[in-house]
Amino acid sequence: MRLIGHFIGGREVKGTSGRTADVFEPMTGTVQAKVDLATKAELRAAVENAKAAQPEWGATNPQRRVRVLMKFLELVARDNDALAELLAREHGKTLPDAKGDILRGVEVVEFALGIPQLMKGEYTEGAGPGIDIYSMRQPLGVVAGITPFNFPAMIPMWKFAPAIACGNAFILKPSERDPGVPMRLAELMLEAGLPPGILNVVNGDKEAVDAILDDPDIRAVGFVGSSPIAQYIYERAAATGKRAQCFGGAKNHAIIMPDADMDQTVDALVGAGYGAAGERCMAVSVAVPVGKTTADRLMEKLIPRVENLKIGPSIDPTADFGPLVTKEALNRVRNYVEIGIKEGAKLAVDGRGFKMQGYENGFYMGGCLFDNVTKDMRIYKEEIFGPVLSVVRAHDYDEALRLPSEHDYGNGVAIFTRDGDAARDFAARVNVGMVGINVPIPVPVAYYTFGGWKRSGFGDLNQYGPDSVRFYTKTKTVTSRWPSGVKEGAEFSIPTMK
């Protein structure tokens, strides 16, 4: 059995807690590895390593720092197939989707190559008599990232690449469900020339997370995961004076206007609703057709597409999606389907009976589709995180606009229409952080930023893009005057611009 320890000070070390978690292979339902769960002392060892290594790394010129990231990109490309297979085997998503997971992380590493430019400060000559003023961005020191199971390559890279490029040392606490790829990424960073101690991986559960939150030497925490944990981390991190950005769950709506191209819309809905078995924070989980005719046209095309989704083991490159991550996740999603039926929604497609031949113990279920869902139902209010799409019929555009705007979550939303006026109005007024216009998964490119609103995001700076540079640096502002400058004598009142 593969044993996964921690990556501290540039090497893998075995855990000492005696506590481990099972890492499943979702496509077969077997335990394929055990991962050590760290104690507070093990987290502290990682912090000590990071703290010792950071000053020299922070003082290394930014071009040299990004050369390590350039080399890392080469190594990720070299090992892409092996990384994708490891990812698919631990997570359950298909191989092409695993490659997408890696690539969306790589794009943020590419963005971080611009750090020499992005970290530049500002300068004003002659801000006062003989006075020049300038600002500089400095790394925070040791920072941490706590990441979810559903993007084990992308989200760790979103976190550590900008942080390390800015000169920080990083402690990554990946999901205990699929820690293999994050560990490999840390090894590749070392191979690329990163000094030991700058990127550490501490595997674990709540105990490791709490140790991060309470550690006085960790200056910032970036979290991605479910909303209750995001809120908990935000509050506890703030209590110890850390910067925190915590991204949570989602309920992403797709509004379908009467003039939408229905074939394109249905393609978008099946891809974004069921891809990765719905285990994406930007998955479309609610479809909102506007008007009865639109709803009927949508259901007529959508039902056969959901019935014919191809579910397969992760290594089948022709599958639309694979199994869920764990048996627990599968049971939770199945339970939501029961709840929806009891609440009175109409189960138009029932995928619960799906069995994968040859993989009978895998965590599979077929796509489910609910019609006539209403906003008081739990299946509408709560995040299901599985291959289940709910159709909420809206009478008109205003009702459709209110649904995502008034929902507790505010991660992503999409509108399908040919009407530029409607799309423009929607983008301006909807109370959600990321909007797609005929784009179902509007994950912004790496040089914009990613962040949901309301219960989908706690804290004010987004992940990646220019916001990540702001998050992982502090600004220092220097006001200077040299002796040959204007002499004003002693000044006892607050200096003002005369």
For the annotated catalytic residues, the residue numbers are: 281
Site membership for ligand NAD, residue 326 (CB under 6 A) = no
Q: Among 7, 111, 247, 472, which residue interacts with ligand NAD (rule: CB under 6 A)? A: 247
Q: Among 224, 237, 287, 414, which residue interacts with ligand NAD (rule: CB under 6 A)? A: 224
Residue 231's identity, in one-letter code, is Q
Subset of residues 176 to 195 that bind ligand NAD, contact rule: CB under 6 A: 176
Is the CB of 37 or the CB of 53 nearer to ligand NAD?
Answer: 37
Q: What is the closest distance, in whole angstroms, from the C-beta atom of residue 199 to ligand NAD in the complex?
A: 16
Q: Among 266, 268, 281, 302, which residue interacts with ligand NAD (rule: CB under 6 A)? A: 281
* C-alpha dist (Å) from residue 424 to 79, 431, 437: 43, 14, 9
Is the CB of 230 or the CB of 415 nearer to ligand NAD?
Answer: 230
Site membership for ligand NAD, residue 68 (CB under 6 A) = no
Q: In this structure, what are the phi and psi dihedrals at residue 481, rounded to the nearest 5 degrees?
A: -140, 135
Q: In this structure, what are the phi and psi dihedrals at residue 256, rounded to the nearest 5 degrees?
A: -115, 110
Site membership for ligand NAD, residue 249 (CB under 6 A) = yes
Is the CB of 109 or the CB of 246 nearer to ligand NAD?
Answer: 246
Site membership for ligand NAD, residue 240 (CB under 6 A) = no
Q: What is the closest distance, in whole angstroms, from the C-beta atom of residue 312 to ligand NAD in the complex?
A: 22
Q: Among 20, 39, 94, 175, which residue interacts with ligand NAD (rule: CB under 6 A)? A: 175
Spell out, one character per residue from 197 to 216, where the chain touches ligand NAD: x when CB under 6 A holds, - when not. Answer: --------xx--x-------
Is the CB of 147 or the CB of 417 nearer to ligand NAD?
Answer: 147
Q: Mind spelling out the 3-state secondary structure of the chain?
A: CEEECEEECCEEECCCCCCEEEEEECCCCEEEEEEECCCHHHHHHHHHHHHHHHHHHHHCCHHHHHHHHHHHHHHHHHCHHHHHHHHHHHHCCCHHHHHHHHHHHHHHHHHHCCHHHHCCCCEEEEEECCEEEEEEEEECCEEEEECCCCCCCHHHHHHHHHHHHCCCEEEEECCCCCCHHHHHHHHHHHHCCCCCCCEEECCCCHHHHHHHHHCCCEEEEEEECCHHHHHHHHHHHHHCCCEEEEECCCCEEEEECCCCCHHHHHHHHHHHHHHHHHCCCCCEEEEEEECHHHHHHHHHHHHHHHHCCCECCCCCCCCCECCCCCHHHHHHHHHHHHHHHHHCCEEEECCCCCCCCCCCCCCCCCCEEEECCCCCCHHHHCCCCCCEEEECCECCHHHHHHHHHHCCEECEEEEECCCHHHHHHHHHHCCCCEEEECCCCCCCCCCCCECCEECCEECCCCECHHHHHHHCEEEEEEEEECCCCCCCCCCCCCCCCC
Spell out, one character per residue from 388 to 427, where the chain touches ligand NAD: x when CB under 6 A holds, - when not. Answer: -----------------------x----------------
Is the CB of 295 or the CB of 384 nearer to ligand NAD?
Answer: 384
Site membership for ligand NAD, residue 237 (CB under 6 A) = no
Site membership for ligand NAD, residue 470 (CB under 6 A) = no
Q: What is the closest distance, in whole angstroms, from the C-beta atom of residue 480 to ligand NAD in the complex?
A: 41
Site membership for ligand NAD, residue 173 (CB under 6 A) = yes
Q: What is the closest distance, in whole angstroms, from the C-beta atom of residue 238 to ligand NAD in the complex?
A: 15
Is the CB of 184 or the CB of 280 nearer to ligand NAD?
Answer: 280
Site membership for ligand NAD, residue 150 (CB under 6 A) = yes
Site membership for ligand NAD, residue 92 (CB under 6 A) = no
Is the CB of 182 or the CB of 367 nearer to ligand NAD?
Answer: 182
Is the CB of 98 or the CB of 423 nearer to ligand NAD?
Answer: 98
Q: Among 28, 94, 456, 462, which residue interacts with ligand NAD (rule: CB under 6 A)? A: 456
Q: Among 76, 250, 302, 432, which residue interacts with ligand NAD (rule: CB under 6 A)? A: 250
Q: What is the closest distance, in whole angstroms, from the C-beta atom of residue 393 to ligand NAD in the complex?
A: 25
By the criterion CB under 6 A, which residues form the site for ligand NAD? 146-151, 173, 175-176, 205-206, 209, 224-226, 229, 247-250, 281, 383, 385, 411, 452, 456
